[in-house]
Amino acid sequence: MDATTHVSRATIARYAVGSLGTGGFATLPGLVLVYYLTDTLGIAALAAGLIVTLAKVWDVIIDPVIGATSDASLARTGSRRRFMMLGGLTLPVFFFLTFAVPTGLGPVASGLWVTLAFVLCATAFSLFQVPYIALPAELTSGYDDRTRLLTWRVVVLTLAILLFGAGGPILRGLADDARVGYLVMAAVAGLVIGAGMLISSRVAPQSHSFAFVAQRRSLGVAYRDGAATLARSAPFRALLATFMLQGLATGLMLAGAQYVATWVLRSEDAVTLLFVALIAPALLLAPVWGVVARRLGKYRTFVIASGVFALAAASLIALIWAPGGWVYLPVAVAGAAYAGMQSLPMAMLPDVISYDARSNGSGKAGTFSGVWTAGETTGMALGATTLTIVLALSGYLESVAGQAVTQPDSALVGIVVSFSAVPAVLMVLSLVTLRAYRLRRSDTDNEIEVVREVIA
């Protein structure tokens, strides 16, 4: 694509559809997997957190490798498409198996089953996600064009969060048997996630004429390339640290939403209303954040969105003393801010990649996206892990499907604190790391296409 050509509507649409898959996978396991482990399979909270963390640690290990290999594949074949398609084809199978634990298995065997299936599921997801994140730097080089591309991706992302966050629990509730309900949910959700990924894989550019040469890379070289990328790019370090902290905050709230619904609001189905309150404003305001960014710049707009989210999260601490329907208002405010928190850093990442390419050469977008995805995964995984630690420390009682338990008051306080105060503090810390991000419009706009060169 020529640097002076605006990204087409068809490209924007096909790229955005991929977030139906990424949003679905990021939302549904984060929402229900820990709860499935503790309240259906009878696995202790700390053990449940360890299972989720192990899968995410594996993700962190392989993401830089997938990124570097994707760069090499791009140079050799002219496209990242085969990685994306492989992920889209295999993820539905492993997603279903994650929730297909045979009846009669004890907590230990059930935990091992989920661990293996979810590790495979996470691998399939990374095969799609890493090259998917690398694509914007190759699809367009304009500062505002990237904002436009990523804004509509976040519109679909927020729609996916609503679809899976609200629809997943509804599908789960269609069956009286909790295990059967989870199977129905996993089958339908897995197919939708895979379909979104496969459709979006078609947007990956294909050309056999590139200005750089493919190289086979060992695992050690892949990790060294990732480390070198972090070492030389101060804007990347700042943006990644910010996104990780915010991923930790939102991952913590996502994992805690079902617990808030069940034990604080006293309705397991209230999680659907929480997601509607979160996503309806995000759907409306995602394009608005793009308009504001064109006026104020991505950096300043990102700061505003993050600050609003932090204030909304902090206000939820009042659930300790006054649980009730008022919770949906601050959740809606957080949702409005969340749209900006997603679209703006993702629109800033291609700027970072292009800025680096001026001095260090093109063809490294996959390396950047591999490190980025590893960082994002770490943040989200630690969110679920932090929740299980708080639950364990506050005396939360695990149970198997059909078993009635009464949670102690300390556990209810722990649930609320993990849903409000802790995420708010993490958001404030993310604003501190963001101060180190120095790139502005003048550094990146009107750049020559440096990621790839198509020879007419």
pLDDT tens digits, one per residue of 271-326: 888 878 877 888 788 788 888 988 888 899 999 999 999 999 999 999 999 998 89
Percent share of the chain, pLDDT over 90: 29
Provide the domain limits for residue 190: 9-201+232-444
Q: Is residue 301 part of a domain?
A: yes
CA-closest candidate to residue 337, choices 237, 250, 417, 257:
250
pLDDT digits (tens, 9 = 90+) for 236-258: 999 999 999 998 998 888 878 88
| pLDDT for 101 | 94
What pLDDT, on the 0 to 100 scale, is given for residue 210? Answer: 39
Model confidence pLDDT, tens digit, residues 44-62? 888 888 888 888 788 878 8
Residue 434 sits in a domain whose CATH number is: 1.20.1250.20
pLDDT at residue 215, rounded to an integer: 45
What pLDDT score was predicted for residue 2?
41
Give pLDDT, residue 280. 81
pLDDT at residue 448, as a whole number: 40
Tokens coding 370: 């591999």
Identify the pLDDT of residue 385. 81
In this predicted structure, the answer to whether residue 186 has a pLDDT above a threshold of 90 is: yes
Higher pLDDT residue, 455 or 139?
139
* Average confidence (pLDDT) over 411-429: 94
Using alpha carbons, select from 443, 388, 431 the residue that is nearest to residue 44. Answer: 388
Residue 454 in domain:
no
In terms of Cα–Cα distance, which of 49, 16, 45 is closest to 380? 49
pLDDT given at position 32: 86
Mean pLDDT of the chain: 82
Q: Is residue 455 part of a domain?
A: no
pLDDT at 193 over 60: yes
* 34 part of a folded domain: yes
Least confident stretch, 189-198, 202-211, 417-426: 202-211
Q: What is the pLDDT of residue 45?
A: 83
Q: Is there a contact between 221 and 309 (Cβ–Cβ < 8 Å)? A: no
pLDDT of amino acid 116:
95
Least confident of 178-192, 330-344, 385-399: 385-399
Query: Averaged over 341-363, what is the pLDDT?
Result: 79
**Predicted pLDDT at 19:** 86
Rounded Cα gap, residues 244 and 255, in angstroms: 16
Count how many domains the chain has.
Answer: 1
For 171-196, the DSSP string reads HHTTSSSHHHHHHHHHHHHHHHHHHH
pLDDT digits (tens, 9 = 90+) for 58-107: 887 888 788 777 777 777 776 788 888 999 999 999 999 999 999 888 88
- Helix axis angle for 328-360 and 219-232, nearest 10°, is 100
pLDDT band with cut points at 50, 70 and 90 for residue 169: confident
Q: What is the pLDDT at residue 219?
A: 56
Q: Check residue 449 and give its pLDDT.
A: 42
Total residue length of the chain: 456
Percent of the chain with pLDDT over 70: 86
Arithmetic mean of pLDDT, 130-136: 82
Q: 210 lies in a domain?
A: no
pLDDT reported for residue 274: 86
The encoded tokens of residue 453 equal: 């060169």
Where is average pLDDT lowest: 143-157, 172-186, 241-255, 378-392? 143-157
**Tell me: the pLDDT tens digits for 10-44?**
888 888 888 888 888 888 887 789 889 988 898 98
* In a domain? residue 328: yes
pLDDT at 213: 38
CA 73 to chain CA mean position, Å: 24
Per-residue pLDDT, 234: 87
Does any domain span residue 68? Answer: yes
Report yes or no on 153 lying in a domain. yes
